[in-house]
Structure 1
Amino acid sequence: MNAQDPWAGILAPDETILWQGRPDTRPQWAALTRQRMVPAAVFTVVAVIWFVQAAALADRGGVAALMPLLALPFLGIGLYHLGGHVLWDAYRRGRTWYSLSNKRAFVATDLPFRGKRLKSYPITRETILSFDGAEPGSIGFAFEPVPMKRGTRMRMVGFERIPDGNTVYALLRGVQGKIERDLPPGDG
């Protein structure tokens, strides 16, 4: 990459940027569902009780002095599930940039402990596009595996909560259409 052209070395010679944007960074409080909040509240209350009780014993020294510290990770997990995930998601979106070329979609992030990352996803005629039609809108164009305790689940990747979803969706469909028009006869 050079200072004149930040895309030098990233884009193919016949590749051009069609659109660039950023997601809406407002917290999505609607993600706080009862199914998630009730267990998180119970977990958090138990962690607080553990911390308070352990702190009362900490003045005895020795291992008892470490007990409040052992409660802190559980308190953090509880607070994250109680509402911290909404704030983290908003923060993550604030550190995210999107670009669309005539061949690929790009998602760039710059997050603490992860650093700067740029991922590209080819847009082909086989790419399954999904658009929620909302304002701001989200458009999916790829899937990535997420390791779980028991197996793997697939997470949709795309442009999340963008203000001009209809325009970007039309551009993505146009990229797919151009790919179809560029195919030799008999390959479509």
Structure 2
Amino acid sequence: MTDPSNMDGDDWAGILDPDEKIMWQGRPDGRFVWERRMLRPGLFGVGFAAFATIWLGLAVLAGAGIEFWGLGLLFIAVGLWITVHALFQPTFLRRRTWYTLTNRRAFVATDLPVFGRSLTSYPINRGIRIDRSDPDRPSVIFAAKTIDNDDGARVEPIGFERIVEAQHVFQLMQGIEK
């Protein structure tokens, strides 16, 4: 994907409305950051891999055949994948994300292997709620989506996450909203 921060007006042709103008472009901080939401799936993955390792060891000691090795190693790999995914997926996503703010909409662009490119826009108008997050995680939140899972529904905020210019972007969005 072309880095949207390097795109000129012609690259946005067909995306922006005729009187729509780009006011800000940026990217989230791509550094690894520990987040509390990583704990549960990370621990589950470690536990899954540890259980598979113990199970495989006991099966080998009991004289199990070679077919148990493949199955045991598969379960160990799945546990390790769950752990790695929980820890590094948020960082990976931020490194493949670009943000654009116009005088009408907020755009979030991603370019992910296998899933491809995605460009989602969110209108900025008087009906939306714009929030800033805490200084440790400077973000501007302007939308939300509800995700249903086994534990019930949870609301996931949508916005420009972990941006250095959060205060400036927040003020721009407040001006657009008015």
TM-score, length-normalised on structure 2?
0.80
For 1:74, the equivalent position in structure 2 comes to 79
Q: Distance in 1 between matches of 2:119 and 2:63?
A: 46
- Local SS of the residue matching 2:146: strand
Length, aligned pairs only: 171
2:22 alignment partner, one of 14, 17, 21: 17
- State the distance in 2 between where 1:12 and 1:133 align: 33
Distance 1:3 1:174 in 2: 24
In structure 2, runs of 5+ residues without a counterpart are 1-6
Check whether the contact 1:47–1:75 (CA below 8 A) recurs between aligned residues.
no
Q: How does 1:18-37 map to 2 (within 5 A)?
A: 18-31=23-36
CA gap 1:65/1:112 in 2 versus in 1, 3 angstroms:
same
Q: 2:51: which partner in 1? A: 46
| Higher CA-based Rg | 1
Work out the CA distance in 1 between the residues paired with 2:62 and 2:20.
65
1:147 equivalent in alignment to 2:117 = no
Residues 60 and 157 (structure 1), Cα distance of their counterparts in 2 relative to 1, 3 Å cut: same
Report the counterpart of residue 122 of structure 2 in structure 1. 121
Residue identity in the other structure for 2:133: D
Q: Which amino acid aligns with 2:101?
A: L
Q: Structure 1 CA distance, aligned partners of 2:151 and 2:111?
A: 29
How far residue 5 of structure 1 moved from its aligned partner, in angstroms, is: 1.0
Point out where structure 1 has 5 or more consecutive residues left out of the alignment: 178-188
Matched-pair identity in % = 37
Show structure 1 runs of 4+ deviating over 3 A: 30-44, 50-59
Q: Is the 8 A contact 2:56 2:68 kept in 1?
A: no
Question: In the TM superposition, what whole-angstrom CA distance separates every residue of 1:115-174 from its partner, at most 9, and x where no partner exists?
Answer: 100000001101111102516611100012223125432211000000011100000001
Cα distance, 1:73 vs structure 2: 1.7
The letter for the 1-side match of 2:169 is V
Q: Equivalents in 2 of 1:75, 1:135: separation in Å? A: 29
User: Over aligned residue pairs, what C-alpha RMSD do you find?
Assistant: 3.0
Q: Give the match for residue 93 of structure 2.
A: 92
Q: 1:163 to 1:27 in 2, by over 3 A?
A: same
- The match for 1:134 is 135
